[in-house]
Every structure is written in structure tokens, then in C-alpha cells.
Amino acid sequence: MMTKIIKILLVSTLSLIFIFLSTAYFGLHLSLPKLSGQFRSGHLFESVTIERDRLGTVIIHGQNRQDVAYALGFAHGQDRFFQMDLLRRNSAGELAEIFGKKALKLDKSRRFHQLRKRAEKTVAKMDPKQKLLLQTYANGVNAAVAEQNLSSFEYLLTGTSPQKWQPADSLLVIFSMYLDLQGNTPKRDMALTQIKRLYGEQMLAFVTQNSPYQAALDSSILPIEDILTPELEPQLLATALMSTIEEPIDIGSNNWAVTGALTMSGRAMLSDDMHLSFGVPIIWYRAQLNYPSATGETIQVTGVSLPGAPAIVVGTNNKVAWGFTNAYIDTADWIAIDENELLTTEIEVIKLPGSLSSIKYPLLLSKFGPVKRVNGQDYALAWVAHQDYAVDMELLGLETISNVQEGLALATSFGIPIQNLMLVDSKGNAAWKPAGAVPSRTNPANVAQSPDSFQGVLWGIDETELPQVLNPEHGRLWSANSRVISAEEFSRFGDGGYALGARSQQIRDRLFESEQFTEQDFYRLQLDNKAKFLTPWHDYLINLLSDEPVRFAKDIQFIRDWQACACADSVGYTLVRSFRAKLLDASFAPIETGLKQINVSLSPIKRYLEPAMWQLLEDEPSSWLPEPFLNWNKFAIQAYADSTQELLDKHSDNGALDSLNWGKVNALRIQHPFSKQMPLLSTLLDMPTVTGFGDSFMPAVQRSSFGASQRFIVQPGLESQAIMVIPGGQSGHPLSDYYRAGFDEYANHESTPLLPGNILHKITIQAVN
């Protein structure tokens, strides 16, 4: 009898599971957008078409730019609406409305900037043509969402409903990029401010000394000065707690260009790969826009768009191509204020799930900006994203330019986070210029300023006098998030968190190894994973472990055989890289311990510590050497032993060094945000895990969930030879054919074409007058 009951229960349970899975699968199918067919709209002047090829590239044909914006909004709404929703909510501080109290901390940090209010204020004052474009784009987005039979699965899982897209939401998407690309700048300056307060000017100078890794376009060098190693007080060493100083995600990019003198065609050539955190879906969206200009000329723009905005961010119009890297010019300052400063309080209401549930978040404001208290001191933040000129749609002007010179003239008008704009054209010209919002104040600072130093009027003016380089004599341009401007210009524009410069140097040196280039040459350079930066660390570690050759015999062999690259099968690379990070953590633990007590960290400036770390190894100061170590070699050996044991604990089942190959330790894992919370969904939602390749400090930037979010190479006018590779598909729907399309090529270092292929789907949207 009991056996029969168990069988009945088992059959019933399996039946319920089958019904649930069938219902879920059927529901997912119902939420798939319709990619072929006829639609009608009263928001169009003329009919438009939306086509898709095997990669899901959206090809739009329209009779004017407004209708094309509607069609792009429609395509974005079909494939990426939930991603767009997260981007606008991220910058507005409205994620808790979907995800509940666990998102409150992030929402509060975003509300500090009041970006929704700023976006709505900007739209209200916007040029009517741009405002109409944003409204038309929003109409397209909302039409696509309205056409769905069932809300996408993300809304079903969270029990929420999609809210209509508004023109201000497109600006919030740009503000999300500000938070990604410049969010570390205020953290960096606050860390340096507190280092100065807690440990003095000498320590500040020690941790910020100029690096030998410099690759400015004019070859200028910031001086490498003799900075005395500061003495550590015994109490600091005695109370130090070992912890991991998190490596900052080096949000940025590589780009470089050569003039037509260095290509067979005589056309200039551009390479651009933007480095961002990975997720599913990937942030970029392949698109081609086709429409007539005011003079009747056919405009064709091909590249990648950012879902949520009606522009091609990186691409080509067959005459000119453009790409960006984060410029890291200083665009933020803290102002130390006292109790006499007039402050006001505004209440930010943060909604929680459920229409009646919310919390009130009080925000202190000053005439300088929003206020934060750190270590008993109030600081106000002045940031370019808070200015009226921070966001606009001027980037669309690139679509219709005919040459590099026209692009240079437009660059200062863009309302985007300041970028290194690289331009090339079909006539062989190549140029670089900072493009985006830059305050006109002339006294950027690494640490908090006094109110008397604050140039309030100049903060309100967008700088128009920016440096540029056009057609250098040697025919080569490069940028990779380190200093590009001259040493003289550096004092004017400051340091907003520059990369160390090793990556830029490697790119520059590779470019000077040849006198002629093809697209495949550039692609190989994008995949260059040679470990030039870590070579001194490799040599140091070999010599260090030679003090105990028996104990470290296997380690030494693996390190000797490291191949000098971030190669998938290299164990030695893993050991060297991990050792460097652990030695930095151990050496600067006294400083990090004090900073953590006031909720600050060395993390935003960890890459700055490279020169200071080598100085410690050279000087071997006793005041920095913790007990019970007798000398610095013993201390460094223990750091190596600790780092290796941590690797084995995390990545090895049998404690064997040969299991620590870099491809496994740095495996590429691109996850959907939901699978991180619900691992059972991983198979359905995530990209396949693949062997890791590349690292930081080299052109082939790749960490487990970070790296080149696209790889783009083009000679304007020869787009049929151009490359565009993206680590993920166009669609955010897991049952779509376009959910993973293109990922395998990216993972296997194969190239996919920029131009669309054979058309598989076509939508026609007819204008209803």
C-alpha cells in the first residue's frame, strides 16, 4: 500500500513539474516578439522597415531621421526593454521598486546625484528637434512593448509590469554610463583626501608618485621624482588586518588608428574595443540606419547602439568612422565644508514593491553640490554629471559628417562622459580629441578643496578649448585610458583615475613594429595577451623563490615555463599575477586597515601603488615589515605562499599546482543578473563558460566577467572588410535565436562582419496619417 502511495505521489509530482515547465515554456514563447509582419503607427511621417540578419543585426530603412528613431526604438523595445528599464532605474535610483530592500543601498547612492530630476530638467530645456527625436524614439519603444502578447519573463518573475518609456529615460541611460565610466573618480579623490588626513602629505606623495608606464601621444613624460618612503608608526603595523584590496574594474577601452599612409588602400583605419562589465544581454546592440539627408544624399550608418538611446555610439557612415575610450580627465572635485555652510535637505522617496510601500531618504545639499560626511567632515561633490551640459543628443551629428575635420569640430558639443574620440576617414586622415562634457574650471585637485578654491562659475561652463592631434607625422594614434594629453595639458585637465599606462605602451610599441596594416593585423593586436607588464614581477619571483629551491621546486618550474603571456594553459602566469596582488595587499594592509574604519579603501587607487610597491622592495624599510618576519624576502615568500594556497583552495580539488592554469582561473562567465540570484536558471540564461584569455595591463583585456564588450575594426569606404565582434546576442529573450548569436565567434577569437548578411526577418511599419 505504501509503495502504491509513493508511486502515486511521485507520478503526481512529476506531472505537476511537467505542467509547470510546459506552462513556463509556453509562456516564454508567448512573450517572444514578432520579428516579421506588418504594423501600423500614427507616430510616423512615412513607412519604415526593420530587417534582421543571422546575427540579429537590425537594418532600418526610413525616409527621415525621426522615423528611423521610431524604428530603432521599436527594435530596442522588442529585444532589450528590460535591460533598458534596468539602465534608467540604475541611474535614477529606482531599482528597489522591482527588487525590494536589497537594492536600497545602491538606490541611495544613486539618489545622491538626483539624476532623474536632472534628466527631466534637461529635456524641458532641450532643443525642440532633439526633444522631438527622443519622444519619437520613446513612441517606438512603447509601441513594441504594447505589441507583446505577454510581458517578458523578468517582469513575470519579479511580479512587476513594464512602465512606459519617456524622453528623460534616454538621458538616464547616458547617466548610467556616467556612473560606470566616472563613478570611481569621486571615490579616488576621497581615498586620497583621507590618506592625506590620516597619514600625511608624504604618504600621499608616496602612493601617487608618477609611474614609468607612460604613453602620451606627444611622448611627454611626467617626472619620476625621488619620493622618500614614509615611516610607518609602530601602532599602524601592530593593528593592521590583512584583507583583499579589491582591484578596481578598469572601465575603459582601447582604440588606435593609422593614417592612409600605413594601409594599402590609402584609407585610414580604426580599431576600437570598449571594456565594460559583462552581463546578459551584453550592453551593445548591432544596428544599421539608412535614410536620406536634407540634400537627398543616402546616409548609411553601421555600428553599435546603446539600447535606450536613438544613436549609433561607435560606427561608420562609409566616409568617416569613430570610436571611443574613456578619457579619465578629472571631472569631479570634493569641497570640504564647515558647520557655517548653509545646507538644505531634500527628501527623496524611494518606492518599494507594492504601490503603497516606500521609504524617505533625506539628502543634504549645498551650493557646491550634494553633501556626504566622511570621518567627521562634511564634503560636497561637484561633478560634471550634475551640470546642465552633461547630457544631450549632439552625438548624432557624427552620422552625417564627411571627414575627420568635421568630427573634430563637433567633439566639444557632445553631452556624454568625456571620451578619447578617435576618428578616421576614407581620405586617409586620422585624428584624436577628447569629446564630451568637461568643466571649464582650471584647478582640478586630487584631494578635497576649500570653498575658497571652488570656481563655481567656471563649473557651469562646458570647456570648448580641448587638445587634438590630426595626422601625426608617423601616422599612428593610440589611447587606452592612461594619459593621452601632454604633460603641460595634464596640469590643466587633471587626473580622474588614469590607467597605469602599461596597456597603452604595449599598443604603441606594437604599432611601431610595422609599416603597413590590415584589418587582421589590428584584430591580432586586439588579442595580444603578452605579459610585458608582469615580466619584472616574474623575474623577481623567480629570484625570490630561489632562496628556498627545494620547497618551491615545482613552483619555480611552472613559473619558468609561464610563456610570458596570459595564455589559457599557463600556470606560471596565474602564480605571478596572484603573487603581485597578494604582496600589494600585505604591504599596504596598515593603510587599508585605517581607511576601512571610515568606510574608505585603497581599491580605487590600487593600480597607482605599483611604483610605491617596487620602492618598498628596493628600500626594504623596517617600519613597514610586520612581525615575525626577519626580512623582506621572508615577508614576500609568505605572501607568495598565501596567494598560492588561496588559489588552490578555490580552484583545485587535489591541491595540485597544475590545476591553476590561467584559462580555468580566469574563465569567462557572462551571467544574466537573475541567474546570480537563482543559479538553477544558469543553463537557460547564461552564456556558456569558456576558457579565459587575456587579463589587465595588456591589449587583450579580459577578466571573468569583464573585458572587450565589442571589437570593431574598419577602413571607411571598405566596410565589407570591417569587423564587429560582440560577446553575446541581440535579444534579451532566452528562447530567441538571437540570444546567443555571435557569442561563439567572440569566445573562439573569430571575426564576424560589421555589415549585415542575408535578411531573415522583415517588419514593415506603415504610417497612419
pLDDT confidence of residue 355: 72
Which pLDDT band holds residue 457 (cuts at 50, 70, 90)? very high
Residue 755 has pLDDT above 90, yes or no: yes
Tell me: the pLDDT tens digits for 42-80?
Answer: 999 999 999 999 999 999 999 999 999 999 999 999 999
With a cut of 90, say whether residue 532 has pLDDT above it: yes
What is the three-class DSSP state of 533?
coil
pLDDT tens for residues 238-280?
Answer: 999 999 999 887 678 999 999 999 999 999 999 999 999 999 9
Query: Which CATH number fits the domain that encloses residue 261?
Result: 1.10.439.10
- Hunting for cell 536600497 — which residue is that? 104
One-character DSSP codes across 1-66:
-HHHHHHHHHHHHHHHHHHHHHHHHHHHHHTSPP-SEEEEETT-SS-EEEEE-TT--EEEE-SSHH
Q: Is residue 520 part of a domain?
A: no
Are 702 and 503 in contact by the 8 Å Cβ rule? The answer is: no
Q: Over 60: is that where the pLDDT of 212 sits?
A: yes
Q: Pairing state of beta strands 702-703 and 476-479?
A: unpaired
Q: Is the pLDDT of residue 22 over 50?
A: no
Whether 19 shows a pLDDT value over 80: the answer reads no
Residue 360's CB is within 10 A of a number of other CB atoms, namely 8
H or E stretch at 406: helix 404-410
330 is in an annotated binding site: yes
Ramachandran sector of residue 508 (left: φ over 0; alpha: ψ -120 to 50; beta: rest): alpha
pTM of the complete model beyond 0.75? yes
Q: Residue 290: inside a domain, yes or no? A: yes
Q: What is the mean pLDDT of residues 227-232?
A: 96
Burial of 719 (0-12, 13-18, 19+ CB in 10 A): buried
Q: In the predicted model, is pLDDT for residue 27 greater than 90? A: no
Residue 512 C-alpha cell reads as 611601431
What's the pLDDT at 250? 67
d(CA 638, CA 522) in angstroms, rounded, equals 42
pLDDT tens-digit series, residues 460-498: 999 999 999 999 999 999 999 999 999 999 999 999 999
Q: How far is CA 36 from the centre of its chain?
A: 34
**390 occurs within a structural domain:** yes
Which neighbouring-strand residues pair with 269?
Answer: 258
Alpha-carbon distance 709 to 46, whole Å? 35
* 702 part of a folded domain: no
Q: What is the pLDDT of residues 377-417, one digit of tens each?
A: 999 999 999 999 999 999 999 999 999 999 999 999 999 99
Q: How many domains does the chain have?
A: 1
Q: Does residue 527 sit within a domain? A: no
Return d(Cα 500, Cα 587) in angstroms, integer.
19
Q: Give domain status of residue 132, yes or no.
A: yes
Looking at residue 313, its amino acid is V
**Residue 430 domain flag:** yes
DSSP state of 230: P
Given a cut of 60, whether residue 360 has pLDDT beyond it is yes
And the C-alpha cell for 471?
595626422
Which of the residues are catalytic? 253
Percent of the chain surpassing pLDDT 70? 96
The edge-to-edge listing of strands for the beta sheet with 332-337 is 332-337, 377-383, 371-374
Task: Give mean pLDDT, residues 602-618.
Answer: 97
Give the pLDDT band of residue 23 (cuts 50, 70, 90): very low
DSSP class per residue in 602-662: SGGGGGGGHHHHHHHHHH--GGG--TT-SSHHHHHHHHHHHHHHHHHHHH-SS--GGG--H
Nearest partner of 536 among 614, 628, 594, judged by Cα: 614
Nearest to 709 by CA among 278, 345, 403: 278
CA-CA distance, 391 to 118, in Å (whole number)? 9
Question: For residue 384, what are the domain limits?
Answer: 28-180+251-272+282-499+764-769
Q: Please list, residue by residue across 751-763, b when 16 or more beta carbons sit within 10 angstroms of its beta carbon and e when fewer do.
A: bbbbbbeeeebeb
The one-letter amino acid at 604: P
Q: Report if residue 716 sits inside a domain.
A: no
What is the average pLDDT value for the chain, to the nearest integer?
Answer: 94
> Hey, which residues does 221 pair with through a beta bridge?
none
Given a cut of 70, is residue 21 above it in pLDDT? no
Cα dihedral across residues 412, 254, 431, 402: positive or negative: negative
- Amino acid in position 103: A
- Beta strands 332-337 and 377-383: pairing type? antiparallel
Find out whether 76 and 286 touch, Cβ atoms under 8 Å: no
Let me know: does 381 contact 401? Beta carbons within 8 Å.
no
Alpha carbons 504 and 516: distance in angstroms, whole number: 20
On the question of pLDDT at 233 being above 70, the answer is yes
585 is in an annotated binding site: no
Rg of the chain in Å (alpha carbons)? 27
Q: Of all residues in the chain, what percent carry a pLDDT higher than 90?
A: 92
pLDDT at 769: 79
Q: Are 592 and 602 in contact (CB under 8 A)?
A: yes
Query: Three cell numbers at 689?
Result: 563558460
For 370, list phi and psi in degrees, rounded to 5.
Answer: -65, 155
